[in-house]
Amino acid sequence: MNSLYIARESMIHRLDPRTKILFVLFIVISSFLFKDPAMQLILLIGMFPLVLLSKLVKQYLMSMQFLMLFVVLIMTIHGIYNPIGETPVFEIFGGLTFKYESLVYASVMSFRILVIGTAAVIFVMTTHPSDLAIALMKWKVPHSIAFMFLSTFQIIPIIAREAKIVMEAQQARCLDVKANIFERVKHLVPLFAPLFIITFVKVHQLSYVLECRAFSRNGVKTSLRETKISSLDYMFISGMLVLLLTELYLSFAQQISLTTSNLLVSSLFAVWAVFFIVIVKFVYKKVSVFIGG
Amino acid sequence: MSNRDAIVVENLTFQYPDTETPVLKNIHFTLKEGEVLGIIGRTGSGKTTLAMCLNRLVPTVIQGNLEGTISVFGQDISQRSVADMADKVGFVFQEPENQLSQMTVEEEIAFGMGNLGISREEMKYRIQETLKQVGLEGFEKRSPLALSGGQQQRLAIASVMAMRPSIMIMDEPTSMLDPRGKNEVYDVLRKIKTYGMTGVIIDHEVERMASYCDKILVLDDGEVIMFGTPKEVFSELTLLHEMEMNAPQVTELADRLRKELQIDVGSPITVEEAVKAFQIVSIK
Amino acid sequence: MEPFIKVTGVSHVYPNGVTAIQDVNLEIGEGEIVAVLGSNGSGKTTLVKHFNGLLKPTTGQVTVGNMNTKKERIAKLSSLVGYVFQNPNHQTFLPTVRQELYYGCKNLKISEEETEKRVKKAIELFELENLLDANPFDLNSSKRKEIGMASIMAISPKVVVLDEPTTGQDHKGCKRVLELVKMFHEHGHIVVLVTHDMQLIGELNCRVVIMNKSRKIADDRADVVFKNQELLKTADLQPPQVMELANQLTYLNRNESYLTIDSIVKWFKHNKKGLEEERKIGTGS
Q: What confidence tens digit (pLDDT) does each residue in A48-72 have?
A: 999 999 999 998 988 888 888 889 9
Does A112 share its domain with A241? Answer: yes
**pLDDT of B221:** 95
- The C-alpha atoms of residue C145 and residue A259 are separated, in whole angstroms, by 69
Does A122 share its domain with A237? Answer: yes
**pLDDT of B280:** 67
Assigned superfamily of C5-95+156-238:
P-loop containing nucleotide triphosphate hydrolases (3.40.50.300)
Least-confidence region, from A132-146, C60-74, C203-217: A132-146
Tell me the pLDDT band of B57, cut-offs 50, 70 and 90.
Answer: very high
Tell me the per-residue pLDDT of A69-83, one tens digit each, with 9 for 90 and over.
889 988 888 888 888
- Domain end position, chosen among A159, A178, A212: A212
Judged by a CB distance cut-off of 8 A, whether residue B205 touches chain A is no
Considering CB atoms only, which of C82, C84, C90 is closest to A166? C90
**pLDDT of A245:** 92
Inter-chain Cβ pairs, chain A and chain B, closer than 8 A:
105
Going by DSSP bridges, is the β-strand pair B282-283/C190-194 parallel, antiparallel, or unpaired? unpaired
What number of residues does chain C have? 285
**pLDDT of B64:** 94
Tell me the per-residue pLDDT of C174-184, one tens digit each, with 9 for 90 and over.
999 999 999 99
Looking at the complex, report in whole angstroms how far the Cα of residue B55 sits from the nearest Cα belonging to chain A: 8
Is-contact B38 B201, C-beta < 8 A?
yes
Considering CB atoms only, which of A173, A178, A201 is closest to C91? A173
Do B275 and C245 count as a contact with CB atoms less than 8 A apart?
Answer: yes
Name chain B contacts of A221, Cβ cutoff 8 Å. 114-115, 117
**pLDDT of A293:** 45
Judged by a CB distance cut-off of 8 A, whether residue C54 touches chain A is yes
Looking at the complex, report in whole angstroms how far the Cα of residue A21 sits from the nearest Cα belonging to chain B: 21
Type of residue at B156: A
Q: How far apart are the first and last CA of chain C?
A: 48
Is A269 within the bounds of a domain? yes
Q: Which is higher by pLDDT, A158 or C173?
A: C173
Q: Which is higher by pLDDT, B160 or A289?
A: B160
If residue C63 lies in a helix (H) or strand (E), which one and from where to where? strand C59-64
If residue B144 lies in a helix (H) or strand (E), which one and from where to where? none
Nearest of B272, B133, B257 to residue B197 by alpha carbon: B133
Judged by a CB distance cut-off of 8 A, whether residue A289 touches chain C is no
Does A107 share its domain with A144? Answer: no
Is-contact C209 C201, C-beta < 8 A?
no
Task: Tell me the average pLDDT of chain C.
Answer: 92
- The C-alpha atoms of residue A157 and residue A3 are separated, in whole angstroms, by 8
Q: Which domains does chain B have, with CATH numbers?
A: 5-102+164-234 (3.40.50.300), 248-284 (no CATH)
| Chain A interface residues (partner B, CB cutoff 8 A) | 2-3, 128-130, 147, 150-151, 153-154, 157-158, 202, 205-217, 219-226
Cα dihedral: C66, C72, C78, C81 (round 10): 20
Name chain C contacts of B172, Cβ cutoff 8 Å. 168
Does A54 share its domain with A191? Answer: no
Question: Hey, of A211, A212, A220, A227, which one would you mutate to test binding to chain B, going by the most B CBs within 10 A of its CB?
Answer: A212
Nearest of A255, A127, B253 to residue C262 by alpha carbon: B253
Tell me the pLDDT band of B275, cut-offs 50, 70 and 90.
Answer: very high
Is A224 within the bounds of a domain? no
- The C-alpha atoms of residue B39 and residue B215 are separated, in whole angstroms, by 9
- The C-alpha atoms of residue B34 and residue B198 are separated, in whole angstroms, by 4
Is-contact A174 C78, C-beta < 8 A?
yes
Judged by a CB distance cut-off of 8 A, whether residue C73 touches chain A is yes
Is A240 within the bounds of a domain? yes
Q: What is the longest distance spanned by two Cα atoms in chain C?
A: 69
Does A107 share its domain with A38? Answer: yes
Does A145 share its domain with A109? Answer: no
List CB contacts of B89: < 8 A, sequence separation 6 or more: B54, B55, B72, B165, B166, B167, B168, B169
Does A28 share its domain with A112? Answer: yes
pLDDT at A141 over 80: yes
Name chain B contacts of C265, Cβ cutoff 8 Å. 253, 256-257, 260-261
Name chain B contacts of C270, Cβ cutoff 8 Å. none
Is A273 within the bounds of a domain? yes
User: Chains with 3 or more CB pairs closer than 8 angstroms to A?
Assistant: B, C
Does A18 share its domain with A103? Answer: yes
**CA-derived radius of gyration, chain B:** 20
* Averaged pLDDT for residues C261-279: 82
Considering CB atoms only, which of B86, B103, B143 is closest to A214? B86
Judged by a CB distance cut-off of 8 A, whether residue B55 touches chain A is yes
Do A172 and C82 count as a contact with CB atoms less than 8 A apart?
Answer: yes
Residue A269 belongs to what domain range?
Answer: 11-128+233-292
Do C261 and B256 count as a contact with CB atoms less than 8 A apart?
Answer: yes
**pLDDT of A265:** 87
Tell me the pLDDT band of A87, cut-offs 50, 70 and 90.
Answer: confident
Do C78 and A172 count as a contact with CB atoms less than 8 A apart?
Answer: yes
* Averaged pLDDT for residues C2-27: 94
pLDDT at B89 over 60: yes
Does A68 share its domain with A147? Answer: no
Is-contact B212 B184, C-beta < 8 A?
no
A94: phi then psi, degrees, rounded to nearest 5: 50, 110
Do B261 and C244 count as a contact with CB atoms less than 8 A apart?
Answer: no
CA–chain centroid gap for A64, Å, is: 8
CATH code 3.40.50.300 region(s) in chain C:
5-95+156-238
Considering CB atoms only, which of A162, A177, A193 is closest to C93? A193
Considering CB atoms only, which of B62, B83, B99 is closest to A216? B83
Inter-chain Cβ pairs, chain A and chain C, closer than 8 A:
66
Task: Tell me the average pLDDT of chain A.
Answer: 87
Count how many domains chain A has. 2
Least-confidence region, from A64-73, B9-18, B81-90: A64-73
Question: Hey, of C144, C170, C258, which one would you mutate to test binding to chain B, going by the most B CBs within 10 A of its CB?
Answer: C170
Looking at the complex, report in whole angstroms how far the Cα of residue A204 sits from the nearest Cα belonging to chain C: 15
Q: ipTM of this complex > 0.85?
A: yes
- The C-alpha atoms of residue B153 and residue B130 are separated, in whole angstroms, by 13
**pLDDT of A3:** 61
Q: Residue B75 burial (CB < 10 Å; 0-12/13-18/19+)? A: exposed
Does A38 share its domain with A117? Answer: yes
Looking at the complex, report in whole angstroms how far the Cα of residue A286 sits from the nearest Cα belonging to chain C: 14
pLDDT at C45 over 70: yes
- The C-alpha atoms of residue A172 and residue C55 are separated, in whole angstroms, by 12
Does A91 share its domain with A155? Answer: no
Does A103 share its domain with A32? Answer: yes
